[in-house]
Each structure stands twice: as structure tokens, then as C-alpha cells.
Structure 1
């Protein structure tokens, strides 16, 4: 990315959502040249599959699929299937955020039915502070579900999951979710402009 002609450098920022979020946390923790990381509704532990980097392996966070529930509409609610990453032996799946070079911004939908995103964001904050790092910026949006897209995308409360092949419930209430998308988009841009360009604000989006 740093060699791409469109990339200003000397560093890059990362933006990840859901599983992509914990991948970004891992990249920020192990790779050089990353000085700002934003994650949207993500876990603070490695998920889904083991992560291999050089001679190290971070196991995936274990789960109990039997703890899923089904909504009145027949959608799967997965928020309770994931085991607590703070409990043994799940601690081995925690991503060592304290190794990262730059700050973090956690965008949290408080009606996320895929991950306990608010809990994970606060776990990340406590871990960073225990290791003498600055606490991350955490922005929580009430009534907001899992899929926080850029502004004016329609609310996606449920869909057939590409990997699981099942109809999954994501949560979110239309009005609150839409407002969150607009605000989160501005917060993300402001964060990147501040930590990549040294600017404190960004002009409102015309999207």
C-alpha cells in the first residue's frame, strides 16, 4: 500500500468491519507503518480461524453454536455463541493491541446482534491502559445494529450470511441507525485526518 502512487504516506490507516475489524487489529499489532486503526463492530480476539504470522499462531476464539436464538421472523441471533475472551483458555485468542504503533477508534452499534461489540471495545481499552498505552476512542450508538455502512445506505437488519449460509439477524432501528451512519462517517474521517495528516477536522461529506 505504501508503494501505491495514490497513497500519501509515510504511514497508512486501517478500517475494518466485523471479522475485518479483528484482522485490522492484528495488522496494527504486528505490522509496521500503520499509525491509525478504526474498527466497526469487531471482536478484540482473533475469530473464525487461527491467525498465522511468521512462527506465531493465534488460535480463534471458541464458540458454543448451541447458544444461538431464533427471532420471531426466523433469523439466527448469534451474539451469545461466542465465549468470553477474558476467560481461560480463550485468552490465547486475544490480539496483543499494546504492540500497535498508533491509536484506535472503536465504532460500536449498541444493538449489534453478531458481536458484543461494546464489551470488546472496553476490553481493548483496559488492555491498552494496563500496558501503559493511551485509551482508545470509543463511540457508541444506541439503536444501531451490526452493519454500519457509509451514510444513506439502507439499514440491513438481516441477510443470508455468505459463509454460514443461514439468515442472520444484525439488529438496528432505522432512524437511529441512519443517524449513526452519518455521524460515524464523519468521525472516521476526522480520526484519519488527525492521525494521518495532522488535521483536527474534515469538511462535511457531500455523499
Structure 2
């Protein structure tokens, strides 16, 4: 039974300080939505839900649950898709309390909707009762994206986003949304802020010919 080596073989988790363009296929995730300051308790509770159901699948064989086509793997990293709550879109100053987010953890290809449903049932006792119904399993196809590795505190991300924006202009691409994704390759409970590794990702599309000429 060959282990799934996503750190080595999946380019979407490649940690490179050099910006890169990627076209991503559809992948399956457990997700949960939320709003507000990510430093608050609600954010932590939602993270815990995702890990509870993800590890239920990861440890399935040890619990006697035989999943078809199961292969050993390391649980994928936490990801967060970030935007603003609609009621705050026109605020002159952005505060963390204004955020909206979707947290997610990718699942291996052998995790079907049936496997996901069973995992949610098995993990229910480990998830706060008010959040069980908020967890869901879905397929997400991000398509064309640009990403870059940010090393350091989360609050310093704007500097790295500036580098990504310069790269996109040079390559003739532009962002399709102000929202972005963060992939947390470090555990902030165990890693010093200045050493945190976070992949920053945005969806992009190529400029039209007249837009490219303007950039040049």
C-alpha cells in the first residue's frame, strides 16, 4: 500500500518564495464557515472540528473502519479562504472583526461523499454539538491561481502580497477577486511567529491584449 506523499508530489503545496502560476484541478475538502477575528475562540473551535473529522479518516484502519482504496497519508494542512463580511465592504478601515472566512482541510481522492458522511457520523462526539451541522464536504476547483510562500507573522503578509502583485503584472495576469487563500504549513502553537510558513494564493486570469500593452 503506497503512501500518499502530497508534500513531495502536489505542486499546490510547494513552498517557494518565488511566485508561481498553477492550474489546479478539483479537490475534495471538509469545510466550515465563520466570521470575525481569527484570534477569537470561535475560530479555534472551527479548526478543531476540521481536524476531528480529518483524523477520523486518517486513523480509520486502527479503529477497524475499512475504507475502500485507503492509502496511508499525513493529514493535509489547514487552509483558509478570506474575505470581508458584506456589511463591512465599504468601511474605510478594515478590522479583523470584519473578516469572513471558510476554513478547510483537503481529503485524499479515496474519500468519497459516502466516506465523508460516515466520517462525520463517527466524529460527531468529538465536535461541539452546535457546529456538527455546519461542517460539510465539497469539491472545489480553484482553476488558475498564483501563489507565494510567506515566512513570518500573519500581520506582515501585505509585504508578500505586494511581491505577488508585481509578479502578476510582469507575467500579464491579474487577480479575479480581492479575496485570497492562506495555507498554513506551520503550527502557530509550536512555531515562533517569525518562522511561520504560509502559502498565499489568489485566483487569476490573463490580461486582455490591450491590458497587456498598457502594462508594458
- Shorter-chain TM-score range: under 0.3
Structure 1-normalised TM-score? Answer: 0.24
Higher share in helix: 2
| Structure with greater Cα Rg | 2
User: Which of the two has greater strand per residue?
Assistant: 2
Q: TM-score, normalised by structure 2?
A: 0.23
Q: Which has the higher contact order (CA 8 A, sep 6+)?
A: 2
